[in-house]
Amino acid sequence: MEFELEPTVRRIVALADRLDRDDRDVPWPRRRADAAAQARRLRRVVMADGPAMASEVNHLVPVEGGRIYVREYRPRAGRLPVHVFLHGGGWCVGSLDERDPRCREIAAGADCVVFSVDYRMAPECSFPTAPEDCFGALAWIVDEADRLDVDASRLSVSGESAGANLAAVLCLMSRDRSGPPIAYQWLDVPATDLTMKQPSVASTPPGYLLDHRAMVDYRDAYLRTVEDRTDPYASPLHAPDLSGLPPAWILTCGADPLRDDGTAYASALRDAGVDVVERHLAGHVHPSFAFTRIASAAAYQRDAVDALRTALHT
């Protein structure tokens, strides 16, 4: 199956394919370092730095079994709404630094304080550590709202790919545990079914910046057992009840193996009575929606941030 990519996306994919190598035998710490170095190089080319913040602060937050960093992006003084952001990377790689520009754009554009969560990663910290860390960070933000000078009664979450998986799970956890009420969820290219049985997983060929082999590698490093694949806190599409969840904004991309994960979750949420806005970037690959030096990606981000601002301020 061939996909018609936007010209700039096609050039980026061609370059990445020339540089790609099989890293399955490389230890995970080295893979994280290599991924971070590649992300820094790519970020300079495909992303603007984002607007200056009034402050950026790293908080060391206690969670079950340890402590994690949560980075706060404040666009201006005042008691602003809260947005929790969860980076992607297959639950195994990724960092706060890689999405600094995006968090700044969200904070400034939606007029909110963004908290980016540095959850612990697999395989050293397998499921359910990452979602529990995210829930712990959410609870900490709400508990410390007065000290942080934020309005935790206006609360939203978002993430990308594995981070979107965690954002969707965070909404489930908060509902199930009578946790902080979340007003809005923004899910970009989410992984929602870790059985990997959605049709686009098999029908999307290699060479579009997310391959089946890599997906299996990350999934199997993250989960402890085969049974975990259908645990709702790993695969939110398998939750028996999706009612009572916050309104959702969901993005899918054309040449993305996870395309049908997002479409299926949007449909399941609607069937459960949840308001959903579904957007699709046909000429993009899995991560390129975030390449904001591309006009269509920049326009998408503006639309998504505007929708978040409306959700938080009306």
Q: In the predicted model, is pLDDT for residue 25 greater than 90?
A: no
Q: In the predicted model, is pLDDT for residue 76 greater than 80?
A: yes
Q: What is the DSSP letter of 292?
A: T
Catalytic-role residue among 126, 156, 158, 161: 161
The model's pLDDT over 162-188, given as tens digits with 9 standing for 90+, comes to 999 999 999 999 999 999 999 999 999
Q: In the predicted model, is pLDDT for residue 292 greater than 90?
A: yes
Q: Sign (positive/negative) of CA torsion 166, 172, 178, 184?
A: positive
CB 239 within 8 A of CB 232: yes
Q: What is the pTM of this model?
A: 0.97
Beta partners for residue 245, in sequence order: none
| Residue 128, phi then psi, degrees to nearest 5 | -100, 30
User: Beta 184-188 vs 248-255: how paired, if at all?
Assistant: parallel
Catalytic-role residue among 100, 118, 231, 256: 256
> Is 161 annotated in the active site?
yes
Query: What's the whole-number average pLDDT of the chain?
Result: 95
DSSP, collapsed to helix, strand or coil, labels residue 50 as: coil
Confidence of residue 119 (pLDDT cuts 50, 70, 90): very high
pLDDT computed for residue 22 by the predictor: 64
CB 186 within 8 A of CB 249: yes
For the chain, how far is it from start to end, CA to CA, in angstroms? 43
Report the C-alpha gap between 148 and 117 in whole angstroms.
15
DSSP, collapsed to helix, strand or coil, labels residue 220 as: helix
> Is 256 annotated in the active site?
yes
User: Beta 80-86 vs 276-285: how paired, if at all?
Assistant: unpaired
Average pLDDT over residues 60-76: 97
Catalytic-role residue among 133, 193, 286, 288: 286
> Is 95 annotated in the active site?
no
Inter-CA distances, 31 with 5, 24, 37, 247, 287, Å: 28, 9, 10, 36, 18
Tell me the percentage of the chain whose pLDDT exceeds 70.
99
